[in-house]
């Protein structure tokens, strides 16, 4: 069984790096760190980078996860090959781009591109944002799934994730104590469905809610509170239709709860996404809604 230590980064293609750069810095509030080899790198916490925009197809997305040891990375490659997947070992150039010692890449059954990385760089100087959105760090992604039940089996059976809750058929998956680091939402394509950054508190969410509206950024869901994770949230639209999320107050499932924790089934309804009554304008959340009715 593969044991994912944490999520590390998202890499996104774009045809308009200037627009993506403005959005990452001025709207999301990330810290630009490098413009290198056709790619822009951003920090959101103590990691070298957590977001990359590179010149390329806007549908080309990769999510990176860290493993603990070289032996685990080697075993992961073997396990994925045994599961019938094509595993690519990162070249030295690709490792340099990612600021990792080594990595492998594969695609999950939907076709989502996943890096498993070893010894990713940390960054000593503290994160200094472009604007103070209150970001405390990159935390999770929603992934597209053409068959959430099948992909849940893969993510739990091969990658060692655990189901924290389900909304309809969409599983919210944890790899550590945080309620979810990955969620799988039904749709007809592969790729990242949303990108989450944690913020320090509700004041940050609400300040961003007003600021984003003033700047003409489309709010697609919230402010609201997820009944699943307990987190308060705000979702908004970024370049190439990517959905970004700020949230705060996510619950944890501690080591002492782990043995007895039972995932809860939430019905596929808007109330399962928001306790306060916000209705998502996010296709995959609406589609989860339609799937069960
Ligand atoms: Fe989220």
Q: Give me the residues near ligand 1 (ion), CB cutoff below 5 Å.
A: 196, 245
Residue 288: per-residue pLDDT: 52
- How far away, in angstroms, is 241 Cα from ligand 1 center? 16
CA 244 to ligand 1 center in whole angstroms: 8
Whether 134 contacts 199, CB under 8 Å: yes
Instruction: Report CA(139)–ligand 1 centroid distance (Å).
Output: 9
Which pLDDT score, from 0 to 100, does residue 163 have?
A: 98
| 275 CA → ligand 1 middle, Å | 15
- What's the CA-to-centroid distance between 122 and ligand 1, angstroms? 24
Structure-block tokens of residue 154: 């893969």
Distance CA 241, CA 54 (A): 16
- Centre of ligand 1 from the C-alpha of residue 256, in Å: 25
Q: 107 alpha carbon to ligand 1 midpoint, in Å? A: 21
Q: What is the pLDDT of residue 105?
A: 98
Contact 140, 228 (CB under 8 A): no
**pLDDT per residue as tens, the chain (293 positions):** 899 999 999 999 999 999 999 999 999 999 999 999 999 999 999 999 999 999 999 999 999 999 999 999 999 999 999 999 999 999 999 999 999 999 999 999 999 999 999 999 999 999 999 899 999 999 999 999 999 999 999 999 999 999 999 999 999 999 999 999 999 999 999 999 999 999 999 999 999 999 999 999 999 999 999 999 999 999 999 999 999 999 999 999 999 999 999 999 999 999 999 999 999 999 999 865 444 43
Q: What is the pLDDT of residue 194?
A: 98
Residue 5: count of CB within 10 angstroms of its CB: 17
Order across the sheet with 51-55: list the strands: 31-36, 39-43, 51-55, 6-14, 61-67, 113-118, 102-107, 88-89
Q: How many A from CA of 248 to the centre of ligand 1?
A: 10
> Residue 97 has what pLDDT?
97
User: What's the 91 CA to ligand 1 centre distance in angstroms?
Assistant: 32
* 3-state DSSP assignment of residue 251: coil
**How far does residue 235's CA lie from ligand 1's centre (Å)?**
8
Task: Give the separation between CA 184 and CA 54, rounded to whole angstroms.
Answer: 24
CA of 86 to the centre of ligand 1 (A): 29
Distance 82 CA to ligand 1 centre (A): 31
- Whether the CB-CB separation of 10 and 63 falls below 8 Å is answered with yes
280: number of CA atoms within 13 Å, CB side? 26
Q: Looking at residue 1, what is its pLDDT?
A: 85
Pairing of β 39-43 and β 88-89: unpaired
- Give the distance (Å) from ligand 1 centre to CA of residue 216: 22
């Amino acid at each position: 069984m593969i044991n994912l230590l944490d999520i590390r980064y998202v890499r996104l293609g774009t045809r308009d790096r200037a627009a993506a750069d403005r959005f990452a810095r001025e709207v999301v509030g990330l810290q630009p760190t490098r413009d290198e080899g056709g790619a822009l790198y951003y920090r959101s916490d103590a990691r070298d980078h957590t977001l990359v925009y590179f010149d390329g197809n806007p549908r080309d997305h990769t999510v990176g996860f860290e493993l603990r040891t070289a032996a685990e990375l080697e075993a992961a490659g073997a396990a994925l090959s045994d599961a019938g997947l094509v595993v690519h070992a990162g070249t030295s150039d690709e490792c340099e781009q990612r600021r990792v010692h080594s990595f492998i890449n594969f695609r999950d059954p939907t076709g989502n591109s996943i890096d498993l990385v070893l010894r990713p760089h940390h960054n000593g100087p503290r994160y200094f944002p472009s604007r103070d959105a209150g970001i405390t760090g990159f935390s999770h992604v929603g992934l597209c799934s053409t068959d959430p039940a099948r992909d849940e089996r893969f993510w739990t059976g091969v990658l060692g994730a655990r189901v924290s809750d389900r909304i309809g058929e969409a599983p919210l998956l944890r790899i550590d104590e945080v309620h979810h680091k990955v969620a799988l939402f039904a749709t007809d394509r592969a790729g990242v469905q949303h990108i989450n950054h944690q913020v320090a508190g509700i004041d940050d969410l609400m300040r961003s809610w007003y600021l984003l509206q003033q700047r003409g950024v489309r709010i697609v869901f919230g402010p609201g509170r997820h009944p699943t994770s307990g987190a308060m949230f705000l979702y908004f639209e970024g370049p190439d239709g990517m959905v970004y999320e700020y949230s705060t107050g996510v619950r944890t499932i501690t080591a002492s709860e782990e043995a007895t924790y039972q995932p809860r089934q939430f019905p596929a309804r808007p109330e399962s996404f928001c306790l306060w009554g916000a209705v998502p304008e996010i296709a995959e959340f609406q589609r989860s809604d339609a799937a069960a009715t």
